[in-house]
Structure 1
């Protein structure tokens, strides 16, 4: 340290007015270090020193050690009629403890050297920004964080907002912050997020304690083409509420069951979780997850036989619906037409506006003819609803909107054909013809009825408080309703379809007559009636396929598991 001081003495710079000045000359730094106050009650606060010399001051105090006056006769103070005083052997128990003669008080050397300055507004500003972004699930970093950027990212922009609206904050952050304590570097921002993540996961794990729990795992590829594994813990807290907590995303080298099992083992080890407390596991239905021989489910069951595997019921329902739509050529063709219809009509703002205008005209006409059903929530402004990719049951809303807006859709398609002479007009004309056949309308009402039954089940399965026994009961009810529809409701469906067709000038075939495939020759076509075509080949066949898929998808929950749950229930 002596060589360091001598080297400092050789430089020259303006004299400071106080020890915290950023222009302090090295010779005065030497004087500050040589005359450090020993009594902790009289020391200059660490925040008042120049940030560039604080580390040197800390080292000097650490070399001196705490102010421990072992031979000093400590004064006594009468407290509650008892004379009390500081006791010297406390220094033996606490090597950080100090005593101030000037204030007759004890101090902590480490707190003096390293404790944050809580009177400084800047600390609250950093904390506020961090907590706000975490609470809103917003990213910290910006694409361009340079001073010239118009958007430096949420963290820096929020900090700048506080600076612009609070002079006290402005005085201690950003350009006015110490050079070694600005807390804005990209690495610092990542450290803040990682620290908060660790604290959050720590609180979650402390709530889990030694309770039984289940894990839910999913894997997906992120935007950087890296396989990531997400994990959720599910447990029951002290209030007997079912809690699900996301505990992180972990990079995996590949998606084999062995790699996923290693990632889970690593997480359990870092979180101090025990497989002995694991009572359930849930994944999607890929073979690497649920395989009977080498899947992740099996590998965990070998280690903990009580960790029952349960496939997400809502996801299984979606898979059952998708399977029918893909396997059945008639249903597949129908949904292809329905999706094309939504895309063509909704391809531009002009077409959507035209659809709304047509629909409003239909409502006004129906109101004037006194055939409009009125009531709260009815006849609202609407448009064709797009179906979601991951929720097949969302097609239910699409079919309802097509039925309610059918004449408006037909008029808009006719408008597209009349106003345009290009590829879009050809597609619009094709759709205009297809949707005005009885067979399209029959599929429209049939799939609306089937998805109406399964939609009720889907919404029920997605409730947070749903349990597996109730879920199985709901699945059973859904199957019973589909079977009831299959056995008794064909004629009712035909009546609905026929009524709709008569209303919109669509030809209704006679059920006893021979079925004719539109656009095909009768010469080599098999002989069958319209009744056979619509009841046997479409109605019964589609419902039977749906029932078969539901039976296949929902038979994985073992009787043993349901028996255990029934025994445990009060």
Structure 2
């Protein structure tokens, strides 16, 4: 196609590429804004440093499209000179003005819980609430759940000691390439032996190479995955520790290694790892549920209630998931159509309307109780085949309040692909356009 074009007219220059990308992102952004139109939406924000040590703030919008489905869309990533409350608020105001978004249509704000984002007096949350009192703040539930897991693990001596031992096991096995290679070889041989015996079956995507994962206080679900991986590679991990002890020349390291071997072979350690697998399995299901864009709120609330019956976590769950922060979800959960709307509660729905006086006038709220009486009689017949709130939402209701900031977190995973060590001087606008 370019055979007869001059050498300097191939349409491949960086300038042309950027112009084409800019045209594409303009269309993509217009589609998102036209999808929102003049409807209500929620804002999800987070910040982090990129590879060139520049503070970047990413913005995701959550709204309901014309098909009445919950949608979360990445809007922009913006460089901020600092992460002070004033700076973040100014950046959001400029972004809203650029895309002609009205702050009055904001109904929710979701952040990861950092103090500069949610401070009662000077946080971003408070500044936005001063301009729009209906933009309710929701501390990311998945983040709170991780804080619960960490707090409980640290408060119980046996559990705390257990995770300290697990961390040391992971660190020792991953301390050198030689140990990692030995661990991989042992796992490979074990899998081959199991396949030959017929204990496991082969297939696409099965038995891929895995490594031990260190538990992290800020990584959702990391404690659970650490336990799962250690249990699945137990014999290989133990063998590597024994090899380290046999080959060791440092008395201090030898003492630590033999202590970890004794721990892994003890009844208490094995009991705790199975106990924590069961307990964290529940929190992991809740964490995954909370991270779904169009999550089933009824399932999330149900799992949340299950978590609250675990005595060791009751206090911490109540502290993190206060009544005020979950009342909206509790009200919405009563719309669960299962068992012919058995959870239907007019009182809770009236409370939900009171939480949003901007959307429900005083007159509407007065007549709402009578309307709900009629409504429940009608829907029990018309929607008898619907089994969950997600299906009901597609026909009559959708939720714009953010529950977790998973979509915002994933933006930085994409950013690390675009802005790397070899492209660490990429401009802010070019990076934003590439991400969109």
- Give TM-score scaled by structure 1 length: 0.52
Larger radius of gyration: 1
Tell me, what secondary structure is at the counterpart of 2:58?
A: strand
2:106 and 2:132 in contact (8 A); partners too: yes
Partner of 1:211: 39
* SS of aligned partner of 1:231: strand
Matched, 1:268 2:96: yes
CA 1:357 to 1:470, structure 2 compared with 1: closer, same or farther past 3 Å? closer
1:434 paired with 2:272, answer no
- Tell me the residue number matched to 2:48: 220
8 Å Cα contact 2:214/2:226 also seen in 1: yes
Distance 1:363 1:469, change over 3 A: closer
**Number of equivalenced pairs:** 330
Provide Cα deviations, 1:406-456, integer angstroms capped at 9, x if missing partner. Answer: 344323322232244358656533422332233322332222222112112
Q: CA deviation at 1:245?
A: 0.9
Q: Distance in 2 between matches of 1:287 and 1:437?
A: 42
**For 1:289-368, what aligned pairs fall within 5 Å after superposition?**
289-346=117-174, 347-348=176-177, 349-356=180-187, 359-360=190-191, 363=194
Query: How far apart are 1:191 and its partner, in Å?
Result: 3.8
- How far 1:562 moved relative to its partner? 4.7
Distance 1:354 1:402 in 2: 16
Q: Does 1:463 align with 2:292?
A: yes
- Tell me the equivalent position of 1:414: 242
* Structure 1 residue corresponding to 2:223, chosen from 395, 420, 432: 395
Contact 1:356 1:381 in 2 (8 A): no
Are 1:451 and 2:280 matched, yes or no?
A: yes
Equivalent pair of 1:214/1:278 in contact (CA under 8 Å):
yes
Q: Does the C-alpha gap of structure 1 residues 381 and 327 become closer, same or farther in structure 2, counting only changes over 3 Å?
A: same
Within the candidate set 286, 297, 302, 1:473 is matched to: 302
CA contact (8 A) 2:195 2:201 kept: no
Match of residue 110 from structure 1: none
- 1:238–1:446 Cα change, 3 Å: same
Query: Which residue does the alignment assign to 1:386?
Result: 213
> Which residue does the alignment assign to 1:287?
115
Q: Which region of structure 1 is more displaced relative to structure 2, 305-314 or 208-217?
A: 305-314
* Residue aligning to 1:551: 318
C-alpha separation between the residues in 2 aligned to 1:261 and 1:471? 31
SS at match of 1:225: coil
Q: Alpha-carbon deviations, 1:68-116, whole Å to 9, x = none?
A: xxxxxxxxxxxxxxxxxxxxxxxxxxxxxxxxxxxxxxxxxxxxxxxxx
Matched, 1:170 2:7: no
Query: How many Å apart are 1:384 and its aligned residue?
Result: 4.8
* In structure 2, C-alpha distance between the alignment counterparts of 1:357 and 1:375, rounded to whole Å: 14
How far did residue 475 of structure 1 move? 0.6
The within-5 A match list for 1:114-263 is 168-172=1-5, 175=7, 177=9, 183-263=11-91
Contact 1:280 1:308 in 2 (8 A): yes
Give the number of the structure whose residues are more often helix, by fraction.
2
TM-superposed CA distance for 1:295, in Å, is: 1.5
Secondary structure of 1:220's match?
A: strand
The 8 Å contact of residues 216 and 231 in structure 1, kept in 2 or not, is answered as yes
Cα shift at 1:373: 6.7
Q: Give secondary structure in 2 for the equivalent of 1:247.
A: strand
CA RMSD of aligned residues (A): 3.2
Do 1:352 and 1:383's aligned partners in 2 also have CA atoms closer than 8 Å? no
SS in structure 2 of the partner of residue 281 of structure 1: strand
The alignment partner of 1:266 has SS state of: helix
- Determine the C-alpha separation between the residues in 2 that align with 1:447 and 1:321: 10
CA contact (8 A) 2:301 2:330 kept: no
Distance 1:350 1:313 in 2: 38
The more displaced of 223-232 and 242-251 is: 223-232
Q: CA deviation at 1:238?
A: 0.8
Q: Report the TM-score, using the length of structure 2 for normalisation.
A: 0.66
Maintained 8 Å contact 2:154/2:160: yes
Residue 302 of structure 1 aligns to a residue whose secondary structure is: helix
Q: State the secondary structure of the residue aligned to 2:244.
A: helix
> Alignment partner of 2:147: what SS?
helix
Distance 1:424 1:193, change over 3 A: farther
SS at match of 1:228: strand
CA shift in 2, pair 1:470/1:441, >3 Å: closer
Is the 8 Å Cα contact of residues 108 and 134 (structure 2) preserved in structure 1? yes
**In structure 2, distance between residues paired with 1:408 and 1:391:** 25
Structure 1: segments with no counterpart, 5+ residues:
1-167, 484-543
Q: Determine helix, strand or coil for the equivalent of 2:325.
A: coil
Matched residue of 2:284: which SS?
Answer: helix
Structure 1 SS opposite 2:221 = helix
